[in-house]
Structure 1
Amino acid sequence: MEHRIDQIKKQLHAQSYKLTPQREATVRVLLEREEDHLSAEDIYLLVKEKAPEIGLATVYRTLELLSELKIVDKINFGDGVSRYDLRKEGAEHFHHHLVCIECGSVEEIENDLLGDVEKIVERDWGFQVKDHRLTFHGICRKCHDGATTLKK
């Protein structure tokens, strides 16, 4: 975790920002709960356990800054709630998600599935792609298998 904190500190410094204690507390929560796709309110409640003096507005400002600097990706799975996801170390693009419409689980796909699509978009439309997001909505294996078992 400390290596990742140092890397984020360098990314902030490169853009003339500091890793303040408030920002570090927020980043640590994101690192500790990396698989959870937390909302700003979720992050705030977890940060508050570590640093009670930090307010919700500070967490929001921190998340917006980290999002602008592409350290964090702000995502919405169609339920109206913004969630925050740390960009993987060295990742050029945002990773993809599988969202189950039955249980709400979210799985990540680390592979970049859209490299060829980007090339076509750039070639045929002259559009320079800087990033992309792909979210599949469907039924996860666990819910699908459970439904199949119930039918038998």
Structure 2
Amino acid sequence: MANEKQIVDALRKRGNKITPQRLLTIKVLMTLDQHHFSVEELFQAVKLQNTDVGMSTIYRTVQILEEMGFITKRNFDDGFARYELCERDEKHWHHHLICLKCGKVIEMQGDFLEALEKEIEEKKDFIIINHELKVYGYCSDCYAIMKGDKFD
């Protein structure tokens, strides 16, 4: 995962301005505790440090960082675009478990579809660049509420 300096250097090399507002946005983005943030959540976190930063600055910075491969957009079918910092040299991203009740997203590391991809590439003469796996169900907390007890 890139650090703040690498992102700023890449922006400069690309010809983007490094304004104080953009720099603050990048700093805040790098410190967000949650892995899947919305533009609104990033905006609120930046506003806590500088009330002069506008939403358009946040949107534009997110758009540029996505174009450059520093963050990736995720859709968890909840009506909101979410973003996360990413490894730029990974072939595949991690997978997600999504709770249908509370919307919690749990990350799953590891590429569980590697054998399937190899078979597809060999049998269908198709080169796979990436895939995304979303598994829907209930987190243990929601399931416990629904059933009256917890499961492991």
User: What is the TM-score with the length of structure 1 in the denominator?
Assistant: 0.80
- 1:47 corresponds to which residue? 46
- 1:124 corresponds to which residue? 123
Q: State the Cα deviation string for residues 45-64 of structure 1 (Å, max 9, x = none).
A: 11122222221111111111
2:29–2:42 Cα contact (<8 Å) kept: yes
Distance 1:67 1:103 in 2: 27
| Root mean square deviation of aligned Cα | 2.7
- 2:26 corresponds to which residue? 27
Q: Larger % of helix: which?
A: 1
1:38–1:84 Cα contact (<8 Å) kept: yes
User: In terms of mean alpha carbon deviation, does 139-148 or 41-50 score higher?
Assistant: 139-148
Q: CA deviation at 1:66?
A: 0.9
- 1:107-146 pair list within 5 angstroms: 107-146=106-145
User: In terms of mean alpha carbon deviation, does 95-104 or 141-150 score higher?
Assistant: 141-150
Q: CA deviation at 1:109?
A: 1.1
- 1:1-152 pair list within 5 angstroms: 4-13=3-12, 15-17=14-16, 19-88=18-87, 91-150=90-149
Distance 1:108 1:120 in 2: 25
In structure 2, relative to structure 1, the CA distance for the partners of 1:22 and 1:131 (3 Å cut) is farther
1:73–1:94 Cα contact (<8 Å) kept: no
Q: CA deviation at 1:13?
A: 4.7
User: In terms of mean alpha carbon deviation, does 18-27 or 100-109 score higher?
Assistant: 18-27
1:118–1:129 Cα contact (<8 Å) kept: yes
Give the fraction of aligned pairs with identical amino acids, expressed as a percent.
36
User: In terms of mean alpha carbon deviation, does 133-142 or 85-94 score higher?
Assistant: 85-94
Q: State the Cα deviation string for residues 97-118 of structure 1 (Å, max 9, x = none).
A: 1110112111111212222233
Q: CA deviation at 1:28?
A: 2.5
Distance 2:6 2:130 in 1: 21
Q: Unaligned regions of 5+ residues in structure 2, if any? A: none
User: What is the TM-score with the length of structure 2 in the denominator?
Assistant: 0.80
In structure 2, relative to structure 1, the CA distance for the partners of 1:131 and 1:27 (3 Å cut) is farther
Aligned residues: 150
In structure 2, relative to structure 1, the CA distance for the partners of 1:115 and 1:150 (3 Å cut) is closer
Distance 1:114 1:14 in 2: 36
